[in-house]
Amino acid sequence: MTNGTGPQAALRRRNLSAVLHAVATGDKSRAAVAAEVGLTRATVSTLVDDLIAAGLVTELGAQRPGTVGRPGTALALSARGPAGIGAEVGVDHLAACVVDLRGTVRARATVEARNRGRAAARTLGELEELVRQVTEEAVALGLRPAGLTVAVPGLVGRDQHTVLRAPNLGWKDERTTLTVENEANLGALAELWLSGGRDTASDNAADAPAARTPLTDFIHVSAEIGIGAALVVNGGLFRGARGFAGELGHVPVYPDGPRCSCGARGCLEQYAGEEAVLRAAGIAPELPGRLKALRTAAADDDARALAALEAAGRALGIALSGAVNLLDPQAVVLGGPLSELAPWLLPGVRRELGERVTGGGALVVESRLGRDGVLLGAAYSAIRAVLDDPSEWTTR
């Protein structure tokens, strides 16, 4: 093993990572990788051999077999290499999944659970059982576990082992040996890593499609019970001075409005949070499958459901107008369970942004990852760590 700490080792780590990232962005030959990363073919070939030996990269067979000379062999990320494990604590479900280096889900499990008010230790114990189950499945498929991240609906401490508060679970200052992360942050990271870019040229479907560019600066809004948001700036999460950034749910919308659980008045959560919307739509917030009931009612043109979603969309648009005026992002992305309500929320959101944003509106898109974004982001966190430093997985 020469995975040392000197400048040579650091250079090797950087080069291995550059090669692996080049392979990750599309199957390509060693020559194409060398051209992309700016290293000699000989250097790249050695690094590729190491990555193949480590089981991170595979050869797909000859590309363009009709060409003269030694055919370029296409390289791809291995489907049997390191595996990222993600888990999710929802208010009434637990989930776990495993993704491979390619970001493909290889194992997955979800159970219903009444986590509101239940002791954190019991909830996490049940979650660990689920994690054990998907990990065993992944190992049986030839994958090697590379790390676990648990998504929680609450504020997480900088140590990533403390849930400072998760009011919808009733958690406060819960410490765990597991690595935890805020669910809105993971949803945003999934969008950053896995969405495959956006047409940022226009928000108008009637316009000609433009080239897809990766979004690197956006506001990601999600919701389960509360409203969560995360800011992605320069291709990374923006966490703020204390790690509290992205609290869109408590941006004032109507400053003299109803009292919020946070103590203030008229927060966005009082208009667009799940509980507020369900109540306005006449659906019991405790009902299992309540969001599906809301979607069904809206699809059936139920007047109360439509009015509730219209008001929520408007409130979301008002709060986001302030956010966009402050941050000037490339786009606003609706993700998580909220994305399933997008058809009814988007008109109000777009109207408010169009009227209130300096420079004329903002691009608003639905996440393609939908409700799965959070869990995928949790699982893919470990994969990103491998792509950023594969040297721990190579044998020299």
Give the number of other CB atoms < 10 A from CB of residue 312. 27
Nearer to a copy of itself, 196 or 263 (CB): 263
Q: Considering the rule CB under 8 A, would residue 255 count as an interface residue with a copy of itself?
A: yes
Check residue 328 and report its DSSP letter: -
Residue type, 169: L
Q: Segment contacting a copy of itself (CB under 8 A): 24-32, 102-110, 230-238, 342-350?
A: 230-238
| Cα 58 to chain centroid, rounded | 27
Instruction: Let me know the angle formed at the C-alpha of 84 by 126 and 110, rounded to the nearest 5 degrees.
Output: 35
Nearer to a copy of itself, 57 or 184 (CB): 184
Q: Whose CA is closest to 59, among 79, 34, 39?
A: 79
Nearer to a copy of itself, 251 or 346 (CB): 251
Q: Considering the rule CB under 8 A, would residue 252 count as an interface residue with a copy of itself?
A: yes
Check residue 346 and report its DSSP letter: H
Strand 180-182 with 171-175, pairing: unpaired
> Between 303-327 and 342-356, two packed helices, what is the crossing angle to 10 degrees?
40
Instruction: Let me know the angle formed at the C-alpha of 388 by 22 and 156, rounded to the nearest 5 degrees.
Output: 135
Q: Segment contacting a copy of itself (CB under 8 A): 20-28, 42-50, 183-191, 324-332?
A: 324-332
Nearer to a copy of itself, 23 or 357 (CB): 357
User: Binding string, 195-224, against a copy of itself, x = CB under 8 A?
Assistant: ----------------------x-------
Nearer to a copy of itself, 329 or 390 (CB): 329
**Among residues 33, 319, 364, 376, the one that binds a copy of itself under rule CB under 8 A:** 319
Q: Whose CA is closest to 306, among 339, 257, 348, 336?
A: 348
**Among residues 118, 356, 368, 384, the one that binds a copy of itself under rule CB under 8 A:** 356
Q: Segment contacting a copy of itself (CB under 8 A): 1-9, 109-117, 133-141, 261-269?
A: 261-269
Residue type, 357: V
Q: Considering the rule CB under 8 A, would residue 181 count as an interface residue with a copy of itself?
A: no
**Least distance in Å: CB of 219 to a copy of itself?**
8
Nearer to a copy of itself, 81 or 154 (CB): 154
- Do the Cβ atoms of 192 and 376 come closer than 8 Å? no
**Among residues 113, 229, 308, 387, the one that binds a copy of itself under rule CB under 8 A:** 229
Q: Spell out the SS3 assignment of 33-57.
A: HHHHHCCCHHHHHHHHHHHHHCCCE
- List, as one string, the DSSP characters of 98-160: EE-TTS-EEEEEEEE---TTS-HHHHHHHHHHHHHHHHHHHHHTT-EEEEEEEEESSEE-TTS
Q: Considering the rule CB under 8 A, would residue 38 count as an interface residue with a copy of itself?
A: no
Q: In angstroms, rounded to a whole number, what is the distance separating the alpha carbons of residues 22 and 36?
A: 7
Q: Which residue has the tokens 């390191």?
A: 82
**Among residues 233, 280, 306, 385, the one that binds a copy of itself under rule CB under 8 A:** 233
**Least distance in Å: CB of 155 to a copy of itself?**
8
**Among residues 55, 322, 347, 370, the one that binds a copy of itself under rule CB under 8 A:** 322
**Among residues 146, 151, 251, 283, the one that binds a copy of itself under rule CB under 8 A:** 251
Of residues 101-160, those binding a copy of itself (CB under 8 A) = none
Of residues 326-355, those binding a copy of itself (CB under 8 A) = 326-330, 355
Q: In angstroms, rounded to a whole number, what is the distance separating the alpha carbons of residues 202 and 189?
A: 23
Residues of the shown chain interacting with a copy of itself in the complex, contacts defined by CB under 8 A: 217, 229, 231, 233, 238-248, 250-255, 262-265, 267, 318-319, 321-323, 325-330, 355-359
